[in-house]
Chain A
Amino acid sequence: MGEQQRHSGAEVASFLLEREAEIIDSWRRLPFFDSGDGDQAQVERDCGAVVRALAEAVRTGDEDDPAAAPFNSLRGLFMELAGRRTRFGDSASEVAVEAGRLKGPVVRLWKSAGGHRGVEQTALLVDALGTLRVAVMEIAVSTSAELIQQQQEQLLELSTPVISLWRGILAVPLIGTLDSARSQIAMESLLQAIVDQRAEVAILDITGVSMVDTMVAQHLLKTVMAARMMGAECIISGIRPQIAQTMVQLGIDLEEVTTRAGLADALAFALTKIGYQVTAPTGAIGR
């Protein structure tokens, strides 16, 4: 860093620190600093931390490096602010646009302050504010990626509950798209539940599955075979008319598998299978 640049940096840093109160005042209502709890004192503290970090960055010549110590010190704050926005569905670029709005008021203040404002000093200030935005963007992108990862894992867990319908009868309601990862998890939790609960019948209900192509069918058939090896009879229920027609045309052979249209029929079949008799009470209308 040259002597001249060091001097300019110090000049910009002292401008930022001297005008901290005014800068905070111009930032405090920006959506970027909105932490959602309406705590104005906290917003002012956050703004102040950003101003001081900017001053530190220009003073040490780190205005171009989003990974440098001054910007790194804001990591926690940005994770909180950007993380909150991405959780509410804002994209990383929307968060970055909001961070970009911090620049205008500061540059205006710099220009209006009078005195001699050199090109080099202005460039330093603008660079530092641009780097701030990059730092925010990086954090927003990484929090969105983390969020997506988390949601995928949650979805995997959510989508494969094994329900005990009766002593010895289990049901797995499958929903949405059955890719390899999800059917693997469904199969594992079903097989474990068959062992744990000594189930004799397992029902795979596909009412919520939007489409059965040959890969999905293969996963279903493998699960049925594996359950059979564990000594449980497996029933596939919830085959909707359009799915049935499509499967027939595809040539998928379910002849070896017990199927029922609805979960209720499957349960009735399963109860009969383990030795119960399903009858309506005397005098009841219909079944």
Chain B
Amino acid sequence: MAAPTATAALNASVFAPGDQMLLTVTYSDADTKPLTVTIVVTDAQGNSSAPVKVTAVIDPLTVTVTDNSGRTWTRVSDNGSVAVYRSVA
């Protein structure tokens, strides 16, 4: 099983007290695959239901953010490969 990769970047290196800080996390894993399962039910007479789609992720990733100064980072967005977190300086 492949290991994930991650990078973390802040929107600045020095912040004034009270400034908004934005952290961009870029992450991936070669094994992580989104997939869609499509289900169609067909009876003995050959009548089929409308297809129903279900999505799933193989080997999903969890992202954890910690801060040694005790600041709380709140997730603003996450599209599965790029997540943005926000905190206050």
Query: Do A and B actually bind?
Result: no
Residues on B facing A (Cβ under 8 Å): none
Residues on A facing B (Cβ under 8 Å): none
